[in-house]
């Protein structure tokens, strides 16, 4: 039994549960599937960990070998944390009676898990696209305003999938038909395409806008689910394919910095979190670019804790949105009175993302920054430190401050539902556990791709980190005091997506108008030509035409005779 199961990709189980969910009308059954499926998948991963060599399966389809299951240490942490996120999401969305969300969330989750455990680019493409298609329903559940965003999201992700497939095809051709997903590198054109495909999903600068566009518009539960999987799948793909590509160091550094400014002025707190997500991804990409053992361990650990604390933050903002009906900073404030538990959980999440000692990111982010330092990229280290302060500022302070403290908005609402509190509580506990000096971070270390020796709790490190964090807090307080800090205002922020949402749109409309004119005129010309040609053909070929005129039999006989002469002439010529 177990021998057989060990060869099955754990993601398939979750996808299967999702398909079953689509046909089950009973809410309770669906909800238990949503929670049980990730638990089973997690158990399967644990099984595979015990016998890593047996956990592989190859399927022969035509001339191509598809590796449906390929277990290794790199995939381990991703798989486990995806399953954990799946359980948290199941709990968090327990109250929601929506078959579509349950089923698409499961299929989406399953695709991400499956994508992590497949071993070749073709299978990766399949789950890459499946994840995109199944997740768009979660965005569309966000209401009518989310429809256009969902379409843009779908278009961009399908495009990313197409690039992935094209890149895979070129890469496979260049490698003599070997589609195995290993280290790819940028020395072939296929590799560049693959990098761009992954970059889109990972939110590289100028390719990132779908994230801030779609995530805040999805439903309360949808955003939480979305934030965990898509981008982390892309980070996994980068880690596997492009570890040590130095260009990623600079891309990652840029990714950490530019969202800070947008996050500071953004009003929608869920959108702030989307920018902060982008910034966190920057750290991971940077670590992948460094590519040393320590850096890769740091990236894997960062992904794990990031999924948890980012979910926690999105869950707390989701709870606010669920109870208050908005997540705009300008309309919130003072909620700590009515939602004390949510406040505490949000603060834990904020402390985690800001990397306070004893909170999740403290260990892993330090590993990444240290590994960059060891490789002597000093400028990049400074950028990363600045970005860390920025994280503290916008996610660590701004989000909880404007939602729960600030000036009292006078809103008095109920505490979040019990299931949301349980999910948030679990996530908060994990956040603290995974950075706890006793047994806590050692457990995380034991799951990392390779042996870790890094010791996070040194006096030096703790002091440095506190200096950084308090400097950021001080800056916030000072700016607030001097009233320089940008007020929470309802405003649209123009990001790079203006290029395609406004300029591009107008350009398309202009082209469309011109095209319509051109089509009208060319259509007239074409109609004339067609009519003319048709008339000519009709005159020749129709029953009334010259060709069909009922020739007398004599004429037909002459025709036969001339054909005979023709044949004889041809024959005669061959004998000359």
Residues near another protein (CB under 8 A) are 537-538, 540-543, 545, 547-548, 550-551, 553, 556-557, 559-560, 563-564, 566-568, 570-575
Instruction: Supply the DSSP symbol for 530.
Output: H
The whole-angstrom separation of Cα 34 and Cα 106 is 7
Instruction: Say what angle helices 10-23 and 27-50 make with each other, to 10 degrees.
Output: 170
Phi, psi of 65 (to 5 degrees): -90, 120
Q: How far is the CB of 548 from another protein (least distance, A)?
A: 6
Does residue 166 contact residue 193 with C-beta atoms inside 8 Å? yes
Please say which residue, 58 or 557, places its beta carbon nearer to another protein.
557
Nearer to another protein by C-beta: 506 or 562? 562
CB of 526 to another protein, least distance (A): 17
Nearer to another protein, 374 or 541 (CB): 541
Give the pair of three-digit tokens for residue 48: 């595979």
C-beta of 494: minimal distance to another protein in Å?
51
- Which CB, 446 or 550, lies closer to another protein? 550
* Nearer residue to another protein within complex by CB, 523 or 561: 561
| Cβ proximity to another protein, 507 vs 569, nearer residue | 569
DSSP-derived secondary structure letter, 120: B
Question: How far is residue 530's CA from residue 160's CA, in Å, rounded to a whole number?
Answer: 41
Q: What would the 3-class secondary structure string for 414-457 be?
A: CCCCHHHHHHHHHHHHHHHHCCCCCCHHHHHHHHCCCCCCCCCC
Pick the closer one to another protein by CB: 25 or 554. 554
Give the nearer residue to another protein in terms of CB position, either 155 or 557: 557
Beta bridge partners of 67: 58
**Shortest Å, Cβ 554 to another protein:** 9
Q: Write down the least CB distance from residue 63 to another protein, Å.
A: 20
Which residue carries 């109250």 as its tokens?
A: 95
514 or 564: CB nearest another protein:
564
Measured distance CA(160)–CA(300) in Å, rounded: 23
Give min distance, CB of 34 to another protein, in A.
42
* Cα–Cα dist 357/472, whole Å: 15
Query: Least distance (Å) from another protein to the CB of residue 568?
Result: 5
Q: Are 47 and 135 in contact (CB under 8 A)?
A: no
Q: Provide the minimum distance between the beta carbon of 545 and another protein in the complex, in angstroms, as a whole number.
A: 7
Tell me how far, at minimum, the Cβ of 531 lies from another protein, in Å: 15
Q: Which residue's CB is nearer to another protein, number 376 or number 575?
A: 575
Handedness of CA 178, 184, 186, 189 (dihedral sign): positive
Distance between CA 8 and CA 276 in Å, rounded?
A: 36
- Calpha distance 93→103 (Å, rounded): 12
Burial class (CB in 10 A: 0-12, 13-18, 19+), 338: middle
CA distance readout (Å), 534 to 443, 525, 526, 530, 542: 80, 14, 12, 6, 10
When the beta carbons of 508 and 566 are compared against another protein, the nearer one is: 566
Helix axes 418-433 and 440-447, enclosed angle (nearest 10): 80
Q: Which is nearer to another protein, 437 or 561 (CB)?
A: 561
> Minimum Å distance from CB 566 to another protein?
7
Task: Quote the CA–CA distance of 124 and 112 in Å, as a whole number.
Answer: 9
Shortest CB 558 distance to another protein, Å = 10
Cα separation of 10 and 117, whole Å? 8
CB of 557 to another protein, least distance (A): 6
Q: Give the integer Cα–Cα distance in Å for 317 and 270.
A: 7
């Amino acid at each position: 039994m177990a021998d057989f199961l060990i060869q099955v990709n754990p993601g398939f189980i979750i996808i299967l549960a999702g398909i079953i969910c689509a046909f089950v009308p009973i809410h309770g059954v669906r909800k238990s599937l949503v929670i049980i499926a990730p638990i089973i998948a997690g158990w399967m991963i644990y099984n595979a960990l015990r016998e890593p060599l047996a956990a592989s399966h190859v399927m022969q389809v035509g001339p191509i070998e598809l590796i449906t299951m390929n277990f290794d240490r790199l995939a381990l942490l991703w798989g486990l944390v995806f399953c954990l996120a799946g359980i948290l999401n199941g709990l968090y969305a327990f109250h929601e009676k929506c078959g579509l969300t349950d089923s698409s969330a499961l299929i989406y989750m399953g695709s991400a898990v499956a994508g992590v455990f497949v071993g070749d680019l073709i299978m990766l493409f399949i789950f890459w696209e499946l994840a995109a298609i199944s997740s768009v329903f979660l965005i569309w559940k966000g209401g009518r305003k989310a429809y256009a965003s969902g379409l843009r999201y779908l278009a961009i992700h399908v495009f990313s999938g197409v690039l992935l497939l094209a890149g895979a095809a070129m890469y496979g051709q260049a490698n003599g038909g070997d589609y195995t997903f290993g280290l790819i590198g940028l020395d072939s054109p296929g590799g560049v395409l693959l990098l761009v495909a992954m970059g889109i999903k990972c939110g590289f600068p100028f390719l990132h806008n779908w994230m801030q566009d779609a995530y805040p518009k999805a439903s309360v539960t949808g955003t939480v689910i979305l934030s965990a999987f898509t981008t982390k799948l892309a980070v996994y793909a980068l880690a596997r394919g492009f570890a040590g590509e130095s260009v990623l160091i600079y891309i990652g550094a840029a990714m950490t910095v530019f969202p800070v400014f947008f996050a500071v002025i953004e009003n929608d707190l869920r959108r702030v979190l989307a920018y902060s997500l982008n910034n966190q991804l920057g750290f991971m990409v940077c670590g992948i670019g460094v590519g040393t053992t320590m850096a890769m361990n740091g990236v894997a650990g960062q992904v794990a804790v990031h999924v948890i604390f980012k979910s926690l933050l999105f869950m707390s903002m989701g709870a606010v949105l669920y109870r208050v009906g908005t997540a705009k900073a300008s309309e919130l404030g003072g909620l700590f009175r009515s939602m004390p538990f949510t406040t505490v959980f949000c603060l834990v999440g904020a402390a985690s993302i800001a990397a306070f000692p004893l909170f999740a990111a403290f260990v892993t982010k330090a590993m990444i920054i240290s590994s960059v330092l060891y490789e002597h990229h000093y400028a990049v280290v400074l950028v990363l430190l600045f970005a860390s302060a920025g994280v503290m500022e916008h996610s660590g302070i701004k989000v909880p401050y404007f939602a729960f403290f600030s000036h009292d908005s006078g809103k008095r609402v109920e505490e979040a539902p019990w299931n949301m509190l349980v999910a948030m509580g679990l996530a908060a506990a994990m956040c603290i556990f995974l950075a706890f000096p006793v047994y806590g971070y050692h457990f995380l270390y034991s799951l990392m791709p390779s042996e870790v020796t890094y010791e996070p709790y040194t006096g030096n490190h703790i002091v440095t980190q506190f200096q950084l964090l308090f400097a950021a807090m001080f800056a916030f307080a000072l700016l607030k005091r001097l009233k320089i800090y940008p007020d929470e205002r309802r405003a649209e922020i123009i990001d790079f997506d203006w290029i395609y949402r406004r300029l591009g749109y107008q350009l398309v409309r202009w082209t469309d108008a011109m095209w319509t004119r051109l089509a009208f005129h060319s259509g007239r010309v074409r109609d004339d030509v067609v009519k003319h040609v048709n008339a000519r053909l009709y005159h020749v070929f129709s029953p009334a035409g010259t060709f069909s005129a009922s020739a007398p039999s004599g004429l037909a006989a002459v025709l036969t005779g001339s054909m005979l002469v023709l044949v004889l002439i041809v024959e005669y010529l061959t004998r000359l």
